[in-house]
Chains A and B, each alone.
Chain A
């Protein structure tokens, strides 16, 4: 079991409201990712769920039981920290054994669990080493091992891959996803990297300024963002926004087009502009096109796109791929993904 329900949860530091009243239900076995820019409150909320931060008001229920004022150890949750937070003076074995020893588990059972976790995480050869003798990826695996052996009802990950280099990050991402599949335990994962969020999550909660802007599956957020913030945050490179002049009977204040939905065309398109920086990534090319009246638009083109700096190109996008936002930045569904439009 590992369902977590947040009811009107808030957090204030003095006069600053870091988390505004917030409701969220995390289902048992779900992999949910909290994503958002720095300082949006996602890590604070995770720490509140863990019990490392007090809750100013509201309730946190874990498996139906009110855990708002429960100490961290009693909540049955395990946490993996950004800095790994391994005990530097203990061997890998002792690190993994630490929570079990605190729970007064029999030594034979502890050994058995350590062996099992080490095998699962490829740590068998490193059990007698100190954390200082391990690479970043191995340290993170030890941190995960320490979390696994407790058989928690949910895992909390606080930006666990931020300290790893790019290639290792991709590997660890896969390992954590696989771990989720094999353990089938609830996982709450905090990150500011939307690629991690999109690739790992069953559902994503997008945070901004202490509130949740939208909760949904990765594709829902990509296809049907509820506002400009979510539209801009999900997707890489980020969505292009263009302010449009007011028209009678139309609430549209700005429109958004994703770089991958902009097409280069020979005929006159919706926009025309001069190509600035061209970024060749091999499989794809990012063009930064300066369009008069619309600013710089990013275009995701094929890897062998022949356009170069200074060229003038025409751009267009399918009407169904253009999102419309009102003056408050809220998506206008009927114009952006209305049934009739999508069809």
Chain B
């Protein structure tokens, strides 16, 4: 075996090991969801040798309105991502194509807001939501999700837009296109892969967001993250049911991620290779 083959084997083993480590908790959760509660907390847990059961899923579906939570998740994550795009596209357009001396500072400032611990703004946001009657509403969560993910959306779109040759937009301007036509007829169709991956990534981020959803919702607007959390209750921790709820919350986004992985990778590496 020559050295290049050897390093290939080493890298393959390394890749599988790291992937295994990342995937193991998900696999464990999936397996636990098919165990009985007593097996789930057994001192000698078994990976496959146990009595497989669907009871947990039945119980979870009977106990909570899963589809309501699911619809909340869909509406909140999709709504926040679409609303975010609506704001981020013009923002990224101006930052990419009408740059000023302070554009870079503005971008850095936007990114810095992501470094702020969310709990730091918890009280003002909570009070604002209370006063505007937005607590436990889908609209409220759409707004907060849009705001927390907006810096990432602007940054991603800015990066994609920077890859589009200015000359194409200038040609459109010479051809008589106004700003609206320039954006809709030229920029957006060209940047579609980037926009799609920005949308997908933000749907995933919003879907998985737990901090704000747990604090700002109770029953009406609670998405799947709140649905999972409801299984760690004062009555005790029900590992098997918690796992079943987690699987049901994660599976839709996992399927979306699986089918769009090509698009995501293409979008995320956009511009890296010309």
Q: Which A residues have a C-beta under 8 Å from some C-beta of B?
A: 50, 52, 71-73, 77-79, 81-83, 85-89, 98-99, 102-103, 143, 146, 150
Q: Is the CB of A73 within 8 A of B175?
A: yes
Contact among A72, A77, A78, A81 with B167 in the assembled complex (CB-CB below 8 Å) = A81
Using CB atoms, name the residue of chain A closest to B186.
Answer: A87
Contact among B176, B186, B189, B190 with A103 in the assembled complex (CB-CB below 8 Å) = B176
Q: Is the CB of B177 within 8 A of A85?
A: no
Using CB atoms, name the residue of chain A closest to B177.
Answer: A102
Q: How far is the CA of A103 from the CA of B173 in the complex (A)?
A: 12
- Given contacts A83-B165, A85-B165, whether A146 and B175 have CB atoms under 8 Å apart is yes
Number of A-B residue pairs having CB atoms within 8 Å of each other in the complex: 59
Using CB atoms, name the residue of chain B closest to A99.
Answer: B175
Q: How far is the CA of A59 from the CA of B168 in the complex (A)?
A: 27
Q: Is the CB of A87 within 8 A of B168?
A: yes
Q: Which residues on the A side are within 8 Å of B163 (C-beta)? A: none
* B121 interface hit (Cβ, 8 Å): no
Chain B 182-211 interface mask (CB, 8 Å, partner A; 1/0): 000110011010000000000000000000
Q: Which residues on the A side are within 8 Å of B168 (C-beta)? A: 85-88
Q: Is the CB of B172 within 8 A of A87?
A: yes
Q: When A and B form their complex, which 4 residue pairs have the shortest distance between CB atoms, in order from nearest? A: A102-B176, A99-B175, A85-B171, A73-B176
Chain B 132-173 interface mask (CB, 8 Å, partner A; 1/0): 000000000000000000000000000000000101101111
Q: Which residues on the A side are within 8 Å of B181 (C-beta)? A: 102
Q: A81-B171, A150-B175 are in contact. List 14 more A-B contacts (CB 8 A).
A: A52-B174, A73-B175, A79-B174, A81-B170, A82-B167, A83-B167, A85-B165, A85-B170, A88-B168, A89-B190, A98-B172, A99-B174, A99-B175, A102-B177
Q: How far is the CA of A106 from the CA of B173 in the complex (A)?
A: 21
Q: Is the CB of B167 within 8 A of A73?
A: no
Q: Is the CB of B170 within 8 A of A73?
A: no
Q: Which residues on the A side are within 8 Å of B190 (C-beta)? A: 87-89
Q: Is the CB of A78 within 8 A of B186?
A: no
Using CB atoms, name the residue of chain A closest to B171.
Answer: A85
Q: Which residues on the A side are within 8 Å of B175 (C-beta)? A: 73, 98-99, 102, 146, 150
- B residues 28-69 near A (Cβ < 8 Å) are none
Q: From residue B179, how far is it (CB to closest CB) to chain A in Å?
A: 10
Q: From residue B167, how far is it (CB to closest CB) to chain A in Å?
A: 4
Contact among A50, A82, A83, A86 with B174 in the assembled complex (CB-CB below 8 Å) = A50
14 contacts between A and B (CB under 8 A): A71-B173, A72-B173, A73-B175, A73-B176, A78-B174, A79-B174, A85-B171, A86-B168, A87-B171, A89-B190, A98-B177, A98-B185, A99-B176, A103-B176
Interface size class of B (residues with CB under 8 A): 10 to 19
Q: Which residues on the A side are within 8 Å of B176 (C-beta)? A: 73, 99, 102-103
Q: How far is the CA of A57 from the CA of B189 in the complex (A)?
A: 37
Q: How far is the CA of A73 from the CA of B176 in the complex (A)?
A: 4
Using CB atoms, name the residue of chain A closest to B188.
Answer: A89
Q: How far is the CA of A246 from the CA of B170 in the complex (A)?
A: 53
Q: Is the CB of A85 within 8 A of B167?
A: yes
Q: How far is the CA of A82 from the CA of B168 in the complex (A)?
A: 11
Q: How far is the CA of A83 from the CA of B181 in the complex (A)?
A: 21
Q: Which residues on the A side are within 8 Å of B172 (C-beta)? A: 87, 98
Q: Which residues on the A side are within 8 Å of B177 (C-beta)? A: 73, 98, 102
Q: How far is the CA of A146 from the CA of B176 in the complex (A)?
A: 12
Q: Which residues on the A side are within 8 Å of B167 (C-beta)? A: 81-83, 85
Contact among B174, B186, B189 with A73 in the assembled complex (CB-CB below 8 Å) = B174
Q: How far is the CA of A249 from the CA of B67 in the complex (A)?
A: 101
Q: Is the CB of A77 within 8 A of B189?
A: no
Q: From residue B170, how far is it (CB to closest CB) to chain A in Å?
A: 5
Q: From residue A79, how far is it (CB to closest CB) to chain B in Å?
A: 5
Q: How far is the CA of A86 from the CA of B171 in the complex (A)?
A: 8
Q: Which residues on the A side are within 8 Å of B171 (C-beta)? A: 79, 81, 85-87, 143, 146
Q: Which residues on the A side are within 8 Å of B173 (C-beta)? A: 52, 71-73
Q: Which residues on the A side are within 8 Å of B189 (C-beta)? A: 87, 89
Q: From residue A341, how far is it (CB to closest CB) to chain B in Å?
A: 48
Q: Which residues on the A side are within 8 Å of B186 (C-beta)? A: 87
Q: Which of B167, B170, B175, B186: most chain A Cβ within 10 A?
A: B175
Using CB atoms, name the residue of chain B closest to A81.
Answer: B167
Using CB atoms, name the residue of chain A closest to B169.
Answer: A85
Q: From residue A43, how far is it (CB to closest CB) to chain B in Å?
A: 11
Q: Which residues on the B side are within 8 Å of A83 (C-beta)? A: 165, 167
Q: Which of B170, B171, B181: most chain A Cβ within 10 A?
A: B171
Q: How far is the CA of A71 from the CA of B177 in the complex (A)?
A: 11
Q: From residue B34, how far is it (CB to closest CB) to chain A in Å?
A: 48
Q: From residue B190, how far is it (CB to closest CB) to chain A in Å?
A: 6
Using CB atoms, name the residue of chain B closest to A52.
Answer: B170
Q: How far is the CA of A73 from the CA of B192 in the complex (A)?
A: 26
Q: From residue A130, how far is it (CB to closest CB) to chain B in Å?
A: 12
Q: How far is the CA of A130 from the CA of B186 in the complex (A)?
A: 14
Q: How far is the CA of A78 from the CA of B165 in the complex (A)?
A: 18
Q: Which residues on the B side are within 8 Å of A81 (C-beta)? A: 167, 170-171
Q: Is the CB of B174 within 8 A of A77?
A: yes
Q: Which residues on the B side are within 8 Å of A78 (C-beta)? A: 174
Using CB atoms, name the residue of chain B closest to A47.
Answer: B170
